[in-house]
Chain A
């Protein structure tokens, strides 16, 4: 394959077109196939040769692909990205011409994936030189993908067997990857609406479903909808193949903070198995109510948490650490009327900066408001009066 001649290649393309073999044709335009290593296919202007051998409906796609192979050989990622944009537009036109058929969907998948990967590379190159703002190439790639999205979404009148709407989930996943990269999560909403409107949304391939659930779970997490985030991320984690350790680890990075906010702490064996040592300090601190350790761990692994985007959610776990600390104070005091000064002392011992009685009352009032403590505060007597039965209900019971 790495020494394939141009004629050989074009004949194969024509053959797949004749037999409507989408999988093989997708390999022939994929940059993960060995044919891209062949020097005989690195042609700067292949249009004439292609038009001679290949059907005109797909000639533009093949010519563009060969030009992109040449551009990659020249190590020009920006040019490859520009050419791939043209290839994707050509693929969407090809799909429009083929009515009531969906055998070419793998071709669309491959072209879109290569476009996103080239856009990432071009973004790096252009940002280094300062020619463009970061994320611009990805935004333009998203616009090109939108043309394919419209073609697939508009195919409503064909039967389920041959509708192009089966390609929507793959495209939506590509959009998610772009929007999360450029930090424009608000653009994900129409995509999610389009998928939820499909009648066969649960019959897509498992890999695509897991990717979809992973990104929607992350989006729910950023929207503070932790119940929904828990459900979707748990689905993704449980259904993900156990050999895909990297993917499982990625899911866990978001699933663990969400679960912790809902009151479920992970075992240390799980954190060790998936190499999540950064989170073990957090889990230990929340479990024991050690606010100081929680703050120190947040500072220590700040870079990791910020790059993963979970720093703010881990800040919210401070409330749980306070709750566990205050429960210990309550158990030590032995009464159901506890002086607020004892809570102030416990916070001062945990080196919480500048804490006073009023701030401690504020934290306690928040816990009562959230249902984490059953009782009330007496400002005049400076005491917390808790219920004699179940003063600190289990964390899993309280809403968040």
Chain B
């Protein structure tokens, strides 16, 4: 750029004439100076140096490349006429105009009719401005006016010069320097604009007109990024007539202002007025996303995509939300180390987190002993172990199996490189998963949905539940909420508060009689961590034991119990637990360290035959060792597996269903209604919601044997899906 500038400025003089040698293809091609190019173009166009049409066009096109908006390129256009448009375009315009004319005619007549009643005095009009208020301007702005007359540069009276007082002018200039300027008048953001418009007295036409106008103002303010003002104007529009568009726009403005609550209520208003409004759904999804209600956001987005599969915004938002669902943002978690596995599951792939973890791992491991140091291994144990793998499982990818173990190991040993490598893998894996998920949702929402309608939820919807409930397993929302709150508190170091939350969750769990031992196990395990942190080793041991009763050989409770035992100096038991941990996963350095330490202590204490005094170390079954990651209470993995199984089952069921149905149809054709009946019943067992089967099953009935079962099923068939299909299909 600078070189070009030099190239041009060294040779050109903007004031002077353009030398003839510059009117040359080569020169013009090389010239990068817009201003000079414009000058050249001017000369070329003027024809002073001769007329070169090609060179002129060349110059124009080159200038356009350099500066497409150059004023020199503006050409006078002839005004377009109907003929210069395509026929369709023009007829469209004419049609629009015609409808508008007709509409305005109607409006006008109704306005005229209403005039009869227009004698009502308008009360809200302010009084006449203080009449005869001797116009303040001539006084207040007296000085201003004077100054203006002396500053205005053009038509300056000669008389002024006679009156010119040099000293006073100088003083004025000096004075200006010292003069304290009043502060800038920034026209305030929303200065006293009423959010309501008095429109009670107006006619419907006027109201419409006004409402539209206020909305337009809102739109303009929105475009100028003046969101607060936009909100005010939308509110004004709404106070006249509540319209979908104004609500929708206000919601958008509120979103921009991060007023989630208000935006939400606006979206709801729209959806009340017009259920299924795509924009409102989209905006509500945005709000949900930002208020961390990912599931709701996803639901809304799927509804949108069902309506408009091509909606790019929805697709984008969906993929973002799904990503967030898997790895919620770090913001709440920053700066604190995480102890609890369940918390980590949510966001274990976040970069910050990774770095923290990495940094932590590089440090030499600390001896487990006192309360202080015992925290460290606990943390590691929690972080390194079971988290990543359930994820791999959840995505159904092979990654969990093959990468799980070495991953954990790498992580644990704190070898920067390998750990790093592994941190990348789950992330990319998830991206892939996301990708497929997304594709599934956009391209084949319908398919997805329709298949989802059959029996168990599958595909996207199933995954979505998993994703959201991932940290909470099968817990109902209030409980998972309690749990998440607990996790958060724990992370923030408020252990006793967290403890309370977990206790509540456990209580709620027992009350609601849910059958999900793995979740309860996690709750106990988490509570145990709190106890451990609080130094309440007894209760910690108790909780861990409970957790282990529910889920034998889960790593974390074991590790925690071991630490608790250790801090109570019950080394033998601690040793046993650590050993168990190591049987489950050899790659837990904390356990290794502790085992070594405790061994030394026990040898000191009990002498050479210390082993004999040890409690029995349970033999960890092979399944727990190999598929260790299945054993820990990873609700997610379990659910993923369940889902997979369900899908398999469904696929099989589908096959069997079709087969049975075909058999049934065959039998019907052969007249063997009894057999057909049996086949159809089989079908119904597989898919009770299939209407056609009911109809098929009952079809033979009316003709030949009218059994009560038949009529009932017919009725059900009708009730569930109104159009009765009377044909064999």
Query: Do A and B come from the same complex?
Result: no
Interface residues of A (CB under 8 A from B): none
